[in-house]
Amino acid sequence: MTKPLKVDITPLLQEVGRTSYLELTEKISGGEDGLIITEPVKIEVDLVNAGGTILVNVNAKTKVKVECARCLDSFDLPMEINFEEEYSSMGPPPMPKKKEVELTNRDFIFRIGKDNTIDLGEAVRENLITELPIKALCDKCANPST
Ligand SMILES: [Zn+2]
């Protein structure tokens, strides 16, 4: 199970337009997708109460374990991601009728928990997976002369 990274948004919910900024450093464990996060994640979050939904703008820095595309050694790859997510107390909108519509990250709306918290851990992990390079090179292979 993924350890939740919960943020209390009670003060934010009191007024539409209210904003909040947070800095967190949290260890996020991997999920069933096999992503191995090897360092606590440094997270900067901007939150906005957009009325009905909370818009979250996240910058996250960490390291993930990947396999070098050339020498196949596993190594820690530094990653920095930026993403926006939407959290709604209503849950995701009804599915479009067409079945062929591809679900992108943008279409997925996270839920605000009953205790007025949002879980950033899941969003960070999903976005790390999305941003993972297809071919990563370790230091030795990226800079063979050094
Ligand atoms: Zn290598």
Closest CA to 84 of 112, 115, 108: 108
Find the largest Cα–Cα distance for the chain.
57
Split at pLDDT 50, 70, 90, the class of 122 is: confident
- Compute the distance between CA of residue 42 and CA of residue 124 in angstroms, rounded to an integer: 11
More confident residue, 92 or 50: 50
Cβ atoms of 79 and 62 closer than 8 Å: yes
As a whole number of angstroms, the distance between CA 48 and CA 119 comes to 15
What confidence category does residue 1 fall into, taking pLDDT thresholds of 50, 70 and 90? very low
pTM: 0.79
Ligand 1 mean position, distance from CA 19 (Å): 44
Expressed in angstroms and rounded, the spacing between residue 37 Cα and the centre of ligand 1 is: 19
Give the span between the Cα atoms of 71 and 85, in whole angstroms.
36
Query: ∠ at Cα 45 (44, 50), nearest 5°?
Result: 165
Is pLDDT at 74 greater than 90 in this prediction? Answer: yes
CA of 18 to the centre of ligand 1 (A): 47
